[in-house]
A and B are shown apart, each in its own frame.
Chain A
Amino acid sequence: MSYIDLKSPPKREDRLKACIAHGGTICEMAGAKGKKSCLHDDGERSFTQGSICLILPALAMLNSLPDNVVLLHSAIGCGGCTHSQNANVRFGSNVRWGRPKDGVWLSTAMDETDVISGGEEKLEQAIIEADRRYRPFSITVVAGCVPGIIGDDIDGVVQRVQPQVTAKLLPVHCEGFKTKIWATAYDAVYHGIGRTLLREGEQAPTGDGLAPFKGLERLSRTVNLMNVSSMGRVDEVELERLLTTLGLEVNVFPVFAHPENMVKATQAALSVSTCPTHDDYFLGYLEERFGVPSLIRHMPIGIENTGLWLRDVAARFGEEEKAERIIEHEERELNEALEEFRPLFKGKKVFISAGEFRALATARLLEELGFTVSGIRSFHHDEFAEVEYQKLAKSSKDDYVIDIANVQPFEEANLLKRLKPDLFLGHANGNGTAAKLGIPTHVIYNTGLAYIGYKGVYEIARRLYRQLKNPIYNRKLAENLRLPYSDAWYTSDPFSHIDQRGGVAA
């Protein structure tokens, strides 16, 4: 039985041995000094700060789906994050269809009575009412912590109610306390899509092996471009541009894809991931059940990585020569355009913080622009990233710190005071610490901005040039504000709250 046959996907600490608590260095992570790059026993922190859980990335994807209603089955606060994600839904709708549109999300707002007597009946009624009121194509039923802990069976509810409603019902398991690796969110959403919208076709496999969804043809020049909301439309357009030049058709999946058309993903000749942290779970499913092979290796962020990504795709279609020509041309144009920025960037120290693969690929990009990496914080660690650590270990003159942490800005504050970088790139809601220390900052992910492909490199360079041309805003913050940490903390070892109880994995 494969994972997809289970009610909910396994958590990533089990499936991928992913971990979140480790203080190390680039050489160590790359395996140069003792094997530590795949931590089978995660550490634990005796002090922790709040973070996100898998419900946030899951909702970022689900709210983007047109004609879908998100029904949260949890206490009233879960899903509050949507207020910020809704901006992406509005911009995303506007740039794709010319009209900003708010997402539709509902909450069963479980109260004390529901906690005591169970929330299944309320959820049943909520599904029926949402179906009648909004008439959506699909309703994604997202379970938060409360149903997980009191034992509501949302899959059972969905099964019972499905015959009474028109909308397709997708259960998505996001019980935050069950996994510390929020990237499990991608598996949870893909799991719901796979089990509900992309069940196997009825026709027998053809002589070529597995077939697409029932009644559909294989499209020999179409690739699935996987986007779980880590790219805005501007980045999709850049990758579509490159893939189209190779003579390929592009099917972006799954954000902003109408659930009714998702079956198209089973027709593709290849699925191409843009981030191994995101897609391995679902690509396995598409391959195993519908015969769609996949590529999941490089993230097209940075000059070298974009080239590697494109070469991999091209090789699958016998277009290697064309790819070389494209890459050669693109690189030459880009490098010329970057010349004006390079003198300002040269030798400046940068600290990078983000989801693991994104942080590492962006670090490589920044090296290409002339920055020196002085530290990286990855939100988690799993085996997919080993190759990226190796790339960085090879390209760096010096060893530098790697903090594996699900944010934990206290460690970052301590590290930044020591390292004094000239620039900090962090995730949304993750640049405040560096900014208040007076370090120029830039957001490493924002769906309104360009990051991906060759154009992404240029646009990042342009934005960093702007930031570094006048960094006085953060400097004044630092002169007038202080972070909430004790003086004693800055003199402590930044990793002193990590108890590496598992020790070094053999």
Chain B
Amino acid sequence: MSDNFIERPRYVCALGGAAATISALPGGIPILHSASGCAGNFAWAQNGGSGLQVGGYCGTLSIPSSNVQEREVVFGGDSRLREQVESTLKVMDGQIYAVLTGCVTEVIGDDIKTVVADFRSQDVPIIGAETGGFKGNSYWGYDLALQALFREFVERGTAKVKSSVNLWGVVPSADPFWRGNLEGVRRLLEALGVTVNSFFTPEDTIENIRGAGSAALNIVVSHVYGVEAAKLFEEIHGTPFLSLSLPVGASASEAFLRSVGKALKISSQKINTVLNREKQAYFRFMEPLTDCFNDLDLQRYAVVVGDANYATALTKFLADDLGWLPELTVCTDPLEDDERDRLTSQLNVLESRYKTTLVFETDGSRAIEHLQKKWPPSGGQKYHNAFSPAFVIGSSLERELAQAIGAPHLSVSFPVANRAVLDRGYTGFRGGLRLVEDILSAVVAGR
């Protein structure tokens, strides 16, 4: 890692993360108070990194944006913002509007709070968040957008409904599989008989989001993304939260359901019933793979490169579900020490007791150096215990690493330039099956 730059950043800025988050809400209309190029930059980033998914109902170049220029830098952009919000309400048809600031308007100190509050006092469903790009990356922008939603849109003082939960922690478009992943977790929770509000799936409605304060529990399927928003939610609406790993595959889903069940005081009998059903189905699908899995010798060493959600979740899946040997896990997010500790502790408790090396490295091209520290390349000796057969699971930028070590490769973490993704997700038991299919298909592609 460098203190001075980040190589090929695998995310955009706070504004980009927030814009994607608002766009993913039902009828969500972001209003960028920023320079003109921000929206386009995000569109092109999605185009190249989000598995061929760009925008949605109101995304990419459809996003209203005040497009501030030098004039606003000199004289301030408040009146331009007011004009833009007014005209947005005439032209656009949304269920929720969110003013999001970019670098320029934040540095010049525009007062968006007053503008937003004025419109809200006229019953406009509008919120505002200060998401200047220099405040952080997409993931932090997601957190900031959720904070604004919880603070300014979710109704206060609603009565709690037992066995009703809110779910978040998967970041729209920054996780190319966000839609499938959210649905996968939703299905898991619904199997427990829990009512779920997950904000961003086709089943979610703006009314349910407004009433999200009634949830008995908030479930954040991340140890980093949306955690600060969960703390704020608890402070404002009194709902406690669980921060859990993204449940990719069977073992993680089982642990997930047990944790949630415990928190919601669901009887262990009921949880066991659900788990038995799900596991039986899972292993019936896995059963016919048994011969080829063995005969083709499909166990692999692996390098995992991913964001804070995927780095640990994929490692855990490979080690505990597939019985693979994930020797090196590279988390490419820039993280605080306490966030790193949380991720490290996840990999210390693998069911398989497999020991992987977790490194925090923003610069993907250095993964090979970390690998070679642990697995020095062959010096041409006759007998050499090489890092082989191997597999690389990461982003499409890991194709160079995979090529360098002669391993097949699967893109899962942003950027995913070389796959088309729609409803595919890797969470839950079914998601585990998808991931087994995708990984092994890459291994046997030349068969």
Contacts and interface: CB of A to CB of B under 8 A. Distances in A.
A308 B16 CA distance: 44
B91 A177 contact: no
A410 B54 CA distance: 18
Interface of A: 46-56, 71, 74-87, 102, 104-112, 114-115, 122, 125-126, 129-130, 133, 145-146, 149-150, 176-178, 180, 182, 406-407, 409-410, 428-430, 432-433, 483-489, 497
Given A77-B16, A83-B49, A429-B43, A176 B400 contact: no
Contact of B8 (A75, A104, A484): A104
Nearest to A481: B57
For B3, B92, B133, which residue has the most chain A Cβ atoms within 10 angstroms? Answer: B133
Given A107-B5, A110-B134, A126-B4, A145 B13 contact: no
Interface in B1-57: 2-9, 11-16, 29, 32, 34-45, 47-49, 54-55, 57
Interface stretch (B103-111, B153-161, B216-224, B262-270): B103-111
A132 B151 CA distance: 47
A189 B40 CA distance: 19
B87 interface: yes
For A48, A77, A486, which residue has the most chain B Cβ atoms within 10 angstroms? Answer: A77
A429 B35 contact: no
A112 B135 contact: yes
A122 B32 CA distance: 28
B92 A484 contact: yes
Contacts of A107: 5-6, 9
Contacts of A109: 5-6, 9, 334
Given A53-B37, A53-B40, A178-B70, A84 B45 contact: yes
B38 to A, nearest CB: 6
A122 B400 CA distance: 28
7 contacts: A46-B83, A48-B36, A54-B37, A82-B8, A109-B9, A109-B334, A486-B92
Contact of A51 (B7, B40, B58, B104): B40
Contacts of A146: 103, 107, 133-134
B66 interface: yes
Contacts, number: 250
Contact of B2 (A48, A85, A126, A180): A126
Contacts of A83: 44-45, 47-49, 415, 417
Contacts of A47: 64, 84, 87-88, 90-91
A429 B69 contact: no
B4 A122 contact: yes
Contact of B63 (A49, A80, A106): A49
Contact of B13 (A76, A150, A178, A180): A76
A406 B36 contact: yes
Given A76-B134, A429-B43, 13 more contacts: A50-B60, A77-B137, A78-B41, A86-B417, A108-B5, A109-B6, A149-B104, A177-B104, A178-B69, A407-B61, A429-B40, A429-B60, A487-B93
A48 B103 contact: no
Nearest to A119: B134
Given A48-B65, A177-B68, A410-B91, A108 B4 contact: yes
Contacts of B16: 77, 80
Contact of A433 (B40, B62, B88, B103): B62
A410 B29 CA distance: 14
A49 B6 contact: no
Interface residues of B, number: 76
A84 B92 CA distance: 28
B208 interface: no
B45 A145 contact: no
B103 A46 contact: no
A410 B40 CA distance: 15
B12 A486 contact: no
A409 B39 CA distance: 13
B5 A149 contact: no
A487 B35 CA distance: 28
B428 interface: no
B136 interface: yes
Contacts of B9: 76, 79-80, 107, 109
Nearest to A103: B8
Contacts of A80: 9, 11-13, 16, 41-42, 44-45, 49
B134 A115 contact: yes
Contacts of A126: 2, 4-5
B350 to A, nearest CB: 32
B70 A106 contact: no
B237 to A, nearest CB: 28
B339 to A, nearest CB: 16
B137 to A, nearest CB: 5
Contacts of B102: 145
Nearest to B415: A83
A50 B65 contact: yes
Nearest to A50: B39
B67 interface: yes
Contacts of A129: 2, 4-5
A115 B8 contact: no
A150 B61 CA distance: 27
B184 to A, nearest CB: 24
Contacts of B397: 102
B132 interface: yes
Given A54-B37, A106-B7, A77 B42 contact: yes
Nearest to A410: B91
Contact of B137 (A74, A76, A105, A406): A76
Given A49-B62, A407-B61, A106 B94 contact: no
Contacts of B41: 52-53, 55-56, 77-81
A428 B12 CA distance: 20
**Which 4 A-B residue pairings sit nearest by Cβ, starting from the closest?**
A50-B39, A53-B37, A77-B13, A84-B48
A407 B55 CA distance: 16
A177 B54 CA distance: 24
B335 interface: no
Contact of A180 (B61, B69, B91, B400): B69
A72 B62 CA distance: 26
Contact of B90 (A84, A407, A483, A489): A489
Given A79-B9, A106-B5, A177-B70, A149 B108 contact: yes
B73 interface: yes
Nearest to B89: A486
Contact of A52 (B36, B58, B70): B36
Nearest to A177: B35
